[in-house]
A and B are shown apart, each in its own frame.
Chain A
Amino acid sequence: MVSKHRTVGERLFDGFNYIALAAFALVAALPFVYMIAGSFATEAELTERDFFLIPRDWSIAAYQYIFSSDTIFRSIGVSVFITVAGTLTNLAFTLTMAYSLSRKDLMGRRLFMNMIIFSMLFSGGMIPGYLVVKELGLIDSYAAVILPGAISAFNLIIIRNFFQQLPPGLEESARIDGCTELGVLWRIVLPLSKPVIATFGLFYAVGHWNNFFSALLYLNDHKKWPLQVMLREIVMLSQLAVGDLSNMDPNFVTPPDQAVKMAVIVVGTVPILCVYPFLQKHFAKGVLLGSIKG
C-alpha cells in the first residue's frame, strides 16, 4: 500500500509522527503514574522533588491513613452496590422494552418509538426532574440515583435494532413449540444476545461507578455517598479529616495532604483500570455498532 520510494520529507514526517503520538500517549498515561508514585512517597520527597515516577523511599502512610476509618470503605461499598443494582435495573428495563419494541407487528410501535426519540431531544431539565423525584419520596434513597437513569434511549434503540436483526425462524419455531413470549425472550433471544448484553452492561456499569452528580443532588446523608462524591470532598474541597487517628499507632504521623489526595485518587481509579481490558474490547465494538446503525 505504500510506495517504496519515500522522500526525505516523508521520512521526516514519519519520524515526527511517531514522536508526537508517543508524546500524546505519555501525556495520557503519566498523570496516573505520578498519582500512584506520589501516593507512596514520603513528605520529604514530595516537597523536594518536582516530578517523579518512582519514589525513592516508599511509604504506605497515606493509604494507612485513609483506610483507618471506615469512611472510604463505606463509600466504596456504596459505589459497588449502586453499580451492581443499577446495572441490573438498567438491563431489566432496557432489554424488556427493547424486545417488545422489536416485534414489528406490535400495535402502537411507531407511537412508542416517537415518544422515545422525542425524549432524547427535549427534556424538562434539572429542576422538574428533581421535583418529580422529590414528590415520589425518593430523596436520600439509592432509588433516586438508580431509577432516573434506568433506560438510556440511545442504548434502547441500538439493542432494539439488534433484536430486530435476529433470524425470525428461531423464534417462530419456538413459538410453534408452544413457547410464550417470555419464554422466547428468556430462552432464545437473550442467550443469543450475550455480547450485546455484555457491552451495554459495561456501558451502564461504568456510568454508575463514575456517577457523581445525581448522588450529590439526591443523597443528603453523608454516609450514603458513593466514592466519587467522597473523592471530590477530599481532594477538591480539602475535607481531609478522613482517617481516624485513634485507630493508629501513637507514633503515626499524618501524611502530607498531597499524598492523601493522591491516594484517594488512586483508589478511585484502580477499579476502572482493572476492568479496562474488557472495556476496551466491548466499548469499541459498541461505538461501531452505534455508528453504523445510526
Chain B
Amino acid sequence: MKPAWAVRLRRDKWLYILLLPGLLYFIVFKYLPMWGVAIAFQNFQPFVGFWNSEWVGFEHFRVFFSNPDFTRLLRNTFLLAVYDLVFFFPAPIIVALLLNELRIAIFKRLVQTMVYVPHFISMVIVASMTYVFLTPQGGVLYELIAQLTGAKINFLSDPDWFRPMIILQIMWKETGWGTIIFLAALASVDVEQYEAAIVDGASRLQRLWHVTLPAISHVIVILLILRLGNFLDNGFEQIFLMTNSLNRSVADVFDTYVYFVGITQGAFSYSTAIGLFKSVVGIVLIYGSNWLAKRFGQEGLY
C-alpha cells in the first residue's frame, strides 16, 4: 500500500512541476544569500571559496562598532528616518484630506492625474532633474534663490542642505501616489455619519475630528507600523544617486556604506556583517512595532 504522501505527489505531479521554477528562484536568489550572511563571520576570500575561508567570529562586528564611522552612519540613517517620518509621512494624509474636501469632480480628477506622475518615473530621472534645477552652472532654482536671497548655495554638495533636499525630493515624488490608500479609506466612510454630524451642528473641523480621522486611523496605524519596521531603510537608490564626496559626511547611511565598502572596496565579509546587523535590527523593529500597535488596541499585521 503506497503511503498517502506519495499518492498526493503523484496526483499533483503537474502542480509540483509548475511550482518548480518559482521554488528554485526562492532557493537560489533568496535563501542561498541568506545562508551567505555566514561570511560575516569569516574573512571571506573569493578565490579560496566559502569552505576554505578562515572563520573569525564576531571580529568584523567588533571592528565596526568601534569604528568612528559607525556613529556617523547611525546618526545619518536615524536622522533621515526621523525627518522622513515627521515630514513625509503626514503629507499624503493631509493632501488626501484636502482632496476629499473638493466638490468639483473634474478638478479633483485632474489634480490626481497630475500628482500621480512623479511616482512612475525613475529615481534616476528625479535625481537628474534635481541636478539640472540646482546646479551652480545655470540651474534655475539655484539662480532664483541666489537672486532672491543673495545666498549662493550649492545644495548638491552642501552637507547642511542634504537632508532637506532628500526629504523634499521624496515628498515631490511620492506624496501624490501616497494619497490613494487614504482616499480609498475616506471614500468608504458612511455618508450618513457625516449627515448625522451636520444635523448635530458639527462644524467642518469637528466633522474632521470625529468622523473622518477615526475612519482612516486604522490605515494610518498599519502604514506607521510598516514604516517603523523599515525604519533603517533609507531608499537606497535615492541616497546613492545624491551622494558625492562633498556631502559624504551626512549622506552615508548603512545601505550605501555597505555598497561602497563591499562592492567598490571589496571588503565582502566586513560589509556583510554591517548588512546583517541592519537586517537583525530591522526584524526587531518590525516585530516591535507590530506588538506596539496591538498594545494600542489596533489590529497588527500578524
Contacts and interface: CB of A to CB of B under 8 A. Distances in A.
B32 A213 contact: no
A96 B21 contact: yes
A123 B107 contact: no
Contacts of B116: 280
Interface string B239-260: 0110000000000000100110
Interface stretch (B22-30, B68-76, B159-167): B22-30
B182 to A, nearest CB: 10
B117 A28 contact: yes
Interface residues of A, number: 95
B19 interface: yes
Nearest to B139: A258
B120 interface: yes
A125 B276 contact: yes
B137 A210 contact: no
Q: Tell me if B's interface is mostly helix, strand, loop or mixed.
A: helix
A239 interface: no
Q: Tell me if A's interface is mostly helix, strand, loop or mixed.
A: helix
Interface stretch (A63-71, A100-108, A165-173, A247-255): A100-108
Given A17-B98, A131-B268, A258-B138, A119 B26 contact: yes
Which of B5, B33, B37 counts the most A-chain CB atoms under 10 A from its CB?
A: B33
A150 B30 CA distance: 11
A269 interface: yes
B67 to A, nearest CB: 17
Given A126-B258, A126-B259, A185-B18, A231 B125 contact: yes
A156 interface: yes
A25 B115 contact: yes
A204 interface: no
B286 interface: yes
Nearest to B278: A125
B225 interface: no
Interface of A: 1-3, 10, 13-14, 17-18, 20-22, 24-29, 31-32, 34-35, 38, 46-47, 50-51, 92-94, 96-97, 99-101, 103, 105-107, 112, 115-116, 119, 121-132, 134, 136, 147-148, 150-151, 156, 180-182, 185, 206, 209-213, 217, 228-229, 231-232, 235-236, 257-258, 261-262, 264-265, 268-269, 272-273, 276, 279-280, 284, 287-288, 291
22 contacts: A28-B118, A28-B176, A32-B117, A35-B129, A50-B147, A100-B19, A103-B15, A119-B26, A126-B263, A127-B39, A129-B36, A131-B36, A131-B268, A181-B15, A182-B14, A182-B18, A217-B263, A236-B128, A257-B137, A268-B122, A273-B117, A288-B180
